[in-house]
Structure 1
C-alpha cells in the first residue's frame, strides 16, 4: 500500500512551499554580524582538542544566527578548564581524559556554581571520586525522553529551508556545509541517547514543515528507528510519533489511516505554524475533524510545536492562545505542548538581557500558565521542556528559574513532561544531570513564591508522566530493560571505556 499523503503532495506544493519560505520565513533579512564568524561546534572542539561536558555557549541548529559567548559563559568555560586541570593532576590523567568522566560532568556544574551562584547541588568529592558520584546518583531512575530527533540518511548537508537561508545571506557559511556524515543520523542517535546518557526510553519525533518529501525525517523512517531499536533491545525502548498536517485534504482520513494502520504510530506530532499551511487548534473546520478521527483510530496523545516561531506572517500560529478551547472540546485527547510554548529561543535574546520583565513574564509560556490556572478543570494539557530548559540553563539561568517556577505553579509536577530536543544538542546526559541537580534560586523563591523541585517531582517529570500518557508500565519496564540486549551492549561499551562526544552538532559564533 502506498503512502497517499506523499503521493498526493509530491507536485502540489513544492513551488508554493519554496515561495512561502523565501517570502515569509527568511524575509525580511536579518543583518549578518560583522564581528563574528561561524564554526561547527564539533570543529571548535576539535581545534581545542576537547569539548566540555556541558555547553558553554548557545549552539544554533542552522536556522538562526548563534550569538557569541557572553562574558559569563566565557568565565564558565575557563573555570571548567581550570578545575579540570586541578582534578586531572590529582588523578594522574590528562585534562581531556578527565573531561570525559563523570568527574568531568560534575566539574561543569561546579564551574556554573562558581560563576552564577549555587544553582546546582554538587560537591567537589564527586569530581574526584567516582564512588562519591555514584553514591549521590539517583538509583533506578526512569528517564523517558518525549522529544528526540535525527535526520534521514539522505541528508548530508543543510536541509532545504536552511539552504535558502544561506542563499539569502543570513548564513553564507551554510552554502557548502557538510553535517559530518553520521553525526545526525540513526547510528549516532542510538549512541548519544542510549549509550552516553541515562535515558531508558524515548519518543522519536519530527517536523511537518513543507511537503512530506522535504521532511527531515518522514513518518516511515521515524517508525523504522523505533522498530529497529526495539528489535535490537528485545524490549520496548522507543515509541514513534506520526506526522500530522490536517490542512492537507488527503490527510484526513487517508493519511491518518495509513500512519496508524500501516505504520502503527503511537501518537501525533503537529506544527500549527507550518508555512505551507498554518492552522489553529480551535479551528472547528480544520482541527476538529483531525481530533475526532484520532479518537476513532485510538490515538489520544497529540504533541504540538508551540512557541519558538519561525519569523514571518505565520508567527501567530505558534502562539498558545488556541489550546484551551480545543482541550475543553476534546477532553479525551492529551495535548502535549512542546517547548512549553516559550516564544523566545535563547539565541534570539542579546547577551546581558533576560528577555523578561520585572514580573518574570516569559512571553507565551506565562500566558499558557495563566490560562491553565484560569481553567483548573482542564486536565489534559501538558507542558514539555525540550530546548527551553537546556537553552535557559546555559545562557540565562534566571529564565530557567522562572520557567520551572511558573510551570510548577500552573501545571504542577504531574503535568510537566521531560523532553530534550536531542540529538540536535548532542547527548542529553548534561541536561539530565542539570535537571537532577538544579536548585531554585533563593531570591526567586522569596520574590515570586516559586517552590523547590522535590525528588518525587523530578521522578514524575523525568518519566512517570509521559509513561502514564502512553500506557507504559514503568515497573514492568524496570524489570525488563536492565536485562535486555541494549543494556548489555551499553555495559560492554562502558566497560571498554566510554567515549562521550562532549559536543553538539550545530554552529557557534566565535
Structure 2
C-alpha cells in the first residue's frame, strides 16, 4: 500500500494546491470522494444526474456527518479519506439495489470499511502498477495575459480554483493530479484533434511532460503519441510529415480522429464521397512504425455534423486487413445517452455493441489486434453498476482479459483516483456471469486491465510503482477534484462558438447534425 495514515484522513484524496494561487470559486467542503455528478470531457453532452446518483450523494453527506462525528473528524476530512470513499461506494451499491431490485455489478465492501481506514484501504488501495494510456493537458503561456478561448470554454477547468483559469490545464496540474495525487504510475500523452500551430498539445508539449516527469519520478514513465491528420493534404504529404515526426521524436503510437480535425474519413475507406485516406494512412504506419494506431471511437460530439464518423464500424475491417497493426480503440465506441445492456441483434448498432459488431463481422475476437480502451467510458458508467457490468462484461467476453486497456481521459476530470478506487472495488455479479457469459472481474483481470495489457502492447517493462517525488506525506494525498462542464447548457453554449476541431463540415445524410 502507498499510505499509512491510521485514520485515513489523508489516505485517499484531497490536497490543497501548494505552488498555485487559489481562489474561492471551488469549495473543497462540497467535494465527495467518488464523482457521480454529470461532467463532460468536452466530447459529449453531460446527461442529467440520475435519481440513484442524486440519492447516493444525499445519503453519503448524511452518513458522512455521523461517521465524522464518531471518529472525531470534520466531515471534509472524513470525506477526503479512504473510509469516506468506501462509504460512498457502499451507499451507491445499496441505493442502486434498492432502486432496481438487483444490479449486474456490485461495490461489495464490508460494513466496517466506512469506519476503518485499514479495512477500506485493503479494498480500495493497492500497490499494483497502473498505466493510463489516455492523458491530456493544454499548454497556455501563463506569462502573457490572455483568456481561455474556445478550448478553455469547452473544458472549463476554471472550476479548479486558480485565479488564472488557464492554469488549470497546465503541465504542473497534470503531473500533480496524475502522478502525485493518484496511484497512476505511467501514462501515454494523447493528442487532440487540432491541426497546425493552434494546437495547445503539440508533440513538443508532450515532450515537456516527459522531461518534467523524468526529473521528478525517473525515466520511462511517459510515452508520447504521434499525431497525424490523414484527410488533410495528399498521401505523399502525410507520409513526409509522419516520417519527419518519427525521426525527431520517439513516439509509441499514432493518434487519429476520423470525425474531427479535418474532413471526415474511415480507416477502411468504405464510403465513397469522403476522403479516401484510411488505407494510405495505414500503409504509412506499416512503413514507418510503430505499428500501433490509437483512434477515437465513440463520444462523437466534437465532430459536430461529422459525429457519425466516430462510429467504430471501420475498426473490424481495418484490423482484419492489417493484422500486423494494433488498434487501440479509445472509448470503445461508448456513446452517452445510449443505455448499455447485453449484446443483442436489436442493439448491435448502439454504443459499445457497435465495436463488437464490427469485430465480429471481421472475424476478430480474443487474442486479436483490437484493444478497447476505457477513457471516459468507465467514468460514465461507474455510477450505474448494471451498465458498468455490461460494458466491462461484453468487452471481456468478446476481446479477452488481455486486450482491455486502462485510460481515464484525464486531466479533463481532475485526478483519476476515484475512477481507480471504484474499479478496484467493482465486481460483476455471479448472476450476470451465468446469464450473459461474462467473465469474473478478478484481481488478476483487473491487474491486466490496469497495466499489464498496455505494457505488453507497447513492449515495455514497467518502472517501479510510485513516483519518488511523492514523499511520505505527499504520497498519502489523493485528489478528488472533478473539472469540466457539468451541465448540458455549458457544453452547448461553448460548442456552438467558433470550433477549431471541425475543419470541414459535410451534409452527409448518414451523419446526424448537432442538436
TM range (shorter): 0.7 to 0.9
5 Å-filtered alignment, 1:135-154, equals: 135-136=122-123, 139-154=126-141
Residue 429 to residue 202, structure 1, CA distance change in 2 (3 Å)? same
CA distance in 2, matches of 1:82, 1:200: 34
5 Å-filtered alignment, 1:223-262, equals: 223-249=207-233, 251-262=237-248
1:57 to 17, 37, 51: 37
2:321 to 308, 320, 329: 329
Partner secondary structure for residue 372 of structure 2: strand
5 Å-filtered alignment, 1:70-219, equals: 70-117=50-97, 119-136=106-123, 139-154=126-141, 157-160=147-150, 180-209=165-194, 211-219=195-203
Q: Deviation per CA, 1:60-94, whole angstroms, max 9, x where unpaired? A: 24565534422221111112112211221122110
CA distance in 2, matches of 1:357, 1:330: 29
Q: Which residue in 1 is equivalent to 2:379?
A: 390
Q: Which residue in 2 is equivalent to 1:318?
A: 310
Runs of 4+ in 1 over 6 A off after TM superposition: 42-45
In the alignment, does 2:416 pair up with 1:425?
no
Q: Deviation per CA, 1:302-345, whole angstroms, max 9, x where unpaired? A: 10001111364423321111112221222111100000012x22
Runs of 5+ consecutive residues of structure 1 not aligned to the other structure: 1-41
2:422 to 399, 416, 434: 434
CA distance in 1, matches of 2:370, 2:340: 25
Say whether the 8 Å CA contact 1:196–1:429 is kept in structure 2. yes
Alpha-carbon offset, residue 182 of structure 1: 2.1
What's the TM-score, normalizing by structure 1? 0.78
Alpha-carbon offset, residue 355 of structure 1: 6.5
Residue 430 to residue 379, structure 1, CA distance change in 2 (3 Å)? same
Q: Provide the aligned C-alpha RMSD in A.
A: 3.1
Partner secondary structure for residue 415 of structure 1: coil
CA distance in 2, matches of 1:269, 1:442: 38
1:380 to 355, 369, 387: 369
1:305 to 296, 299, 303: 296
Alpha-carbon offset, residue 241 of structure 1: 0.9
In the alignment, does 2:438 pair up with 1:450?
yes
Q: Deviation per CA, 1:426-457, whole angstroms, max 9, x where unpaired? A: 11111111111111145534543323211111
Single out whichever of 125-134 and 398-407 deviates more from structure 2: 125-134
Alpha-carbon offset, residue 128 of structure 1: 2.2
CA distance in 2, matches of 1:137, 1:52: 15
Q: Deviation per CA, 1:258-314, whole angstroms, max 9, x where unpaired? A: 221112222111101125321110129522332222233231111000111136442
Q: Which residue in 2 is equivalent to 1:505?
A: 483
Runs of 5+ consecutive residues of structure 2 not aligned to the other structure: 1-21, 98-104, 271-275, 489-515
